[in-house]
Amino acid sequence: MLEMRIPSHQLRDLLKLYFIMGSQNTDKDPRFVLEEAIQGGITLFQFREKGEGAKTGGEKEELARSLMQLCRNHGIPFIVNDDIDLAIAIDADGVHVGQDDEDVAAVRERIGDKILGVSAHTLKEVEEAIEDGADYLGIGPIFPTGTKPDAKKPQGDTLIRAVRKEKIDIPIVGIGGITAENASFVIQSGADGISLISAISQAASPKESSKQLLERIMVPLAQNK
C-alpha cells in the first residue's frame, strides 16, 4: 500500500510495459497469462474486467484478488480500471478512469495517495486531469484497436507530441493497437511507456510477447532521457 503520492520518475519506470487484462480478453486462464507476462517483463498491470462476458460481483472480486496476489508476489503494482469500490475493498495500488467514468477529483479524494491514471484525448482533458490529481495519463487510441468496441477514432501521436510541445511533464503511456512492430514509434513520440491488451493476452506465448515488446522500446526510452 502506498503511503504517499508516487514520484513521477518512479512512475515513468513503471509505465514502460503496462499490461491491461480482464478474463474477457483471453481464452486462457488469466492467472496463467499474467504470470507469463510478469516473467516476460511487464512493469505495471491493470485489471479491466469490463465488457461482454466480464465477471461481476463476487466472481470479479475473487479474480481481482488472485491476480493482485500474483502482482504482489513479483512487486508489480496492481491498478483497477474504473471500479473504485473494488479498488478500495481489496486495497489495490491504484485506479484508472476514463472521461466517462467517475469525476477525477472525486476519485482522488476517495483513493488518497494511491496511483491515479486518467485517459485523455484532448489538451483540455490533459490539463483538467492534471489539475484534478492525475499521476499519469493514458493517451490514445494511437492506432486502430478492436479490443474496445467504443474506442474513439485513432489519433496517432498527435496529442502526445502536443503535450510534450507544451512542456507538460506528466508521465504518459500510449494505448490502442500497439504491437511489437509499432511500439518504438509511441516512445519516440514522447510517451514514457506503452499499454496494451491483446498483444499479450492473445499471444501464443504471453511471456515471449512481453519480452519482445520490452526489447523494442528500451532503445528509444534510453534516447528520450
Greatest Cα-to-Cα distance within the chain, rounded to the nearest angstrom: 45
Q: Amino acid identity of 49? A: E
Residue 65 burial (10 A CB sphere; 0-12, 13-18, 19+): middle
Summary mean pLDDT of the chain? 94
**What pairing do the DSSP bridges indicate for beta strands 78-81 and 44-47?**
parallel
Q: Amino acid identity of 179? A: T
Separation between Cα atoms, residue 145 and residue 195, nearest integer Å = 12
Residue 214 CB contacts under 8 Å (≥ 6 apart), including other chains: 16, 17, 40, 41
Pick the CATH number of 11-206 from 3.40.50.150, 3.40.50.2300, 3.20.20.70, 3.40.220.10: 3.20.20.70
pTM attached to this predicted model: 0.95
pLDDT at 150: 61
User: DSSP code of 153?
Assistant: P
Q: Is 197 annotated as a binding residue?
A: yes
- Catalytic positions are 48, 119, 148
Percent of the chain at pLDDT exceeding 90 = 90
Taking only the tens place, the pLDDT of each residue in 109-164 is 999 999 999 999 999 999 999 999 999 999 999 999 766 656 678 989 999 999 99
Q: What is the mean pLDDT of residues 61-70?
A: 98
Residue 40 burial (10 A CB sphere; 0-12, 13-18, 19+): buried
Q: Is 50 annotated as a binding residue?
A: yes
Q: Taking the domains of the chain in order of start, what are their residue ranges?
A: 11-206
Strand residue runs (E) in the chain: 17-21, 44-47, 78-81, 94-97, 115-120, 136-139, 172-175, 193-196
